[in-house]
Amino acid sequence: MVVLSQQAALNQFFLIKSCKPTTTQIPEVNLSDPEAKTLIVKACQEFGFFKLLNHGVPMEFMTNLENEALRFFKKTQSEKDRTGPPDPFGYGSKRIGFNGDVGWVEYLLLTTNPDIISSNSQFIFQQNPQNFRYAVEGYLGAVKRMCYEVLELMADGLGIKQRNVFSRLLKDEKSDSCFRLNHYPPCPEVQALNIGNLVGFGEHTDPQIISVLRSNTTSGLQICLRDGSWVSVPPDPTSFFINVGDTLQVMTNGKFKSVRHRVLADTTKSRLSMIYFGGPPLSEKIAPLASLMSKEEESLYKEFTWWEYKKAAYNSRLSDNRLHPFEKSSG
């Protein structure tokens, strides 16, 4: 009866079979490599994803924030719940968004814009030692600088004269970027029941321009290849992983593809990931860049503002093809 009740409790979450081991090599880019711009473009075209080495972000910034985040997630549930629900910023658990998606995850969602501090975000910092705020700000400052460099190398690699064409959108004082700390607790019950892998965060693409992820030593992240197969990404807490987002796919007129990805929860170890989502200002008009299109090439997408796309994305399910309604019909 105990086993049945455990399985019933887990049935609300998605369970999937383990992926077969793969020999696919995840693209790696050394930021100091003279060929970095070419390698970044190649990875974004073929995978929409790459691992970034020699990135210049001090390791102490990563470990400081990891320690502070784990200290928060180790609090009692009632203490954590006082900083939620996310509106959209704050603490959330199990429920992802407002459309029925669930996952074996708890998280903190914070804005990176100092002019938009929600009451929940304020409460999180008030209820935690000051060094939590310092850890977040120190980490984000370094990650943003690295992200701008990546985006400018990306523009160079694409042959765009205006090398800040992407980075300026994140540097803008009204940039609608955010930061997420995801904690995936271990779930030994799944191993005992031998019923597959528990989905921590369901398959999706990120709607923003770019996502910068760093995780601890626990595996779980998987990306979907062009042929539809799933590949596990080996963890590396000393490096970052860069995702192409939907908005960047549109701006490159489909030359770059936003990567579909998911996270599976581990049965014995907790996973902690930190993701910076670089987004443009809400009023920014998003359309394929004319400088990337040949004279006879047509735009694959309708023009929209980031606010219009963000609203549509938040009203969808995680696994939906969010760009589909914004594609121009082939007819």
Reading the block at residue 75, the tokens are 């609090």
- Who contacts 329 (Cβ-Cβ below 8 Å, separation ≥6)? none
**Is 154 in contact with 252 (CB distance < 8 Å)?**
no
Spatial separation of the C-alpha atoms in residues 273 and 236, rounded to whole Å? 11
Query: Does residue 322 have an active-site annotation?
Result: no
Going by DSSP bridges, is the β-strand pair 28-30/49-53 parallel, antiparallel, or unpaired?
parallel
Catalytic residue among 180, 260, 271, 322: 271
Please state, in angstroms and rounded to a whole number, the distance separating the CA atoms of residues 38 and 35. 5
> Percentage helix, strand, coil, to 5, in the chain?
35, 25, 45
Strand, coil or helix: what is 103? strand
**Residues 31, 50, 111, CA angle at the centre, nearest 5°?**
85
- Number of Cβ within a 10 Å radius of residue 217: 11
Which active-site residues does the annotation give? Answer: 271
